[in-house]
Amino acid sequence: MKEDLGVGDTEIGWLYGVFALFYAVAAVPIATMADLKSRKHIIAIGIFLWSLMTIACGLTKSYLQIFIARIGVGVGEATLSPSTTSLIGDYFPRRDIPLALSIFQTGPIIGSGIAFVIGGVVLDLVQNAEPLVLPFFGAMKAWQQTFIYVGLPGMFLAAFFLLIREPVRRPSVSIDGSTGNAELIAFYRQNLKTIIFHHLGFVSLVLTGYAFVFWSVSFFVRVHGLEAAQASQAFGWIFIFFGPLGPLFVAWIAKRLTDRGHHDANITAGMIGGILSIPAVLLIQVAPNVTWAYVFYAPALMMVNSPFGIASGALPVITPPHLRARVAAVYMLMGAIGMMFGPPLAGAFNEHIFPGQDGVRYSMVTMTVFFGVIGIVLLWFGRKHYAESMIRAESWAED
Q: Distance between CA 374 and CA 283 in Å, rounded?
A: 20
Whole-number pLDDT of residue 398: 60
Whole-number pLDDT of residue 178: 47
Whole-number pLDDT of residue 230: 80
User: pLDDT tens digits, residue range 90-123?
Assistant: 888 888 888 888 888 888 888 878 877 776 777 6
What pTM value is reported for the model? 0.78
Q: Is 8 helix (H, G, I), strand (E, B) or coil?
A: coil
8 Å CB contact between 240 and 382: no
Whole-number pLDDT of residue 157: 85
Residue ranges per structural domain of the chain? 2-162+181-393
User: pLDDT tens digits, residue range 133-160?
Assistant: 777 877 778 778 878 888 888 888 888 8
User: pLDDT tens digits, residue range 53-69?
Assistant: 999 998 888 889 999 99
Those residues whose C-beta lies under 8 Å from the C-beta of residue 189, and which sit 6 or more positions away, are none
Q: For the chain, list residues with pLDDT below 50.
A: 177-178
Nearest Cα to Cα of residue 327 among 217, 185, 231: 185
Fold assignment, 2-162+181-393: Growth Hormone; Chain: A; (1.20.1250)
Those residues whose C-beta lies under 8 Å from the C-beta of residue 288, and which sit 6 or more positions away, are none
Whole-number pLDDT of residue 274: 93
- With left for phi above 0 and alpha for psi between -120 and 50, is residue 140 left, alpha or beta? beta
